[in-house]
Structure 1
Amino acid sequence: MPKLKSRKSAAKRFRATGSGKIVRRKSFKSHLLQHKSANRKRRLSKTALVHERDEDNVRGMLPYL
């Protein structure tokens, strides 16, 4: 059985926690920040878990995660 390739774009965006869940960054934090409140920007800086319905998709892209 040959080695499986992981999608490099997904490898840069997702990582696994110790318990095996998948972590992602939140969107809307890259530009047009002047009109967003400091509270909102702080909230967007934190990481979030990938929803359980999307986990199979991500695991398919990252076979060795």
Structure 2
Amino acid sequence: MPKMKTKSSAKKRFKITATGKVKAAAAGKRHGMIKRTNKFIRDARGTMVLAEPDGRKVVKNYLPNGL
């Protein structure tokens, strides 16, 4: 059976923390920022920890070998 490869797109988008949580950039920041609240813009900076079920899906399907 061939080796499972890591998805190249996932390598760029996700990071796995030391405790196994998955971090990703916040969504909704590409365009249309004029109508967003300042609080939304502030909160969307940096990275966020994905919800537990979403993190498990990312690791299982896209990052089988971790990062």
Q: TM-score, normalised by structure 1?
A: 0.80
Using the TM superposition, give the Cα deviation of residue 4 of structure 1 relative to its aligned residue in structure 2, in angstroms: 2.2
1:8 alignment partner in structure 2? 8
Give me the TM-score of the superposition, normalised by structure 2. 0.78
Q: Which residue of 1 aligns with 2:19?
A: 19
Residues 5-63 of structure 1 show CA distances to partners (whole Å, capped at 9, x for unaligned) of 11111111110112221111111011111121222101011321111112221112101
Aligned length: 65
State the percentage of identical aligned residues.
32
Superposition CA RMSD, Å: 1.6
1:53 aligns with 2:53: yes
Structure 1 runs (4+) greater than 3 angstroms displaced = none
Letter matched to residue 13 of structure 1 = R
- Distance in 2 separating the partners of 1:47 and 1:35: 21
The amino acid across from 1:9 in the alignment is S
For structure 2, the residue ranges without an aligned partner over 5 or more in a row are none
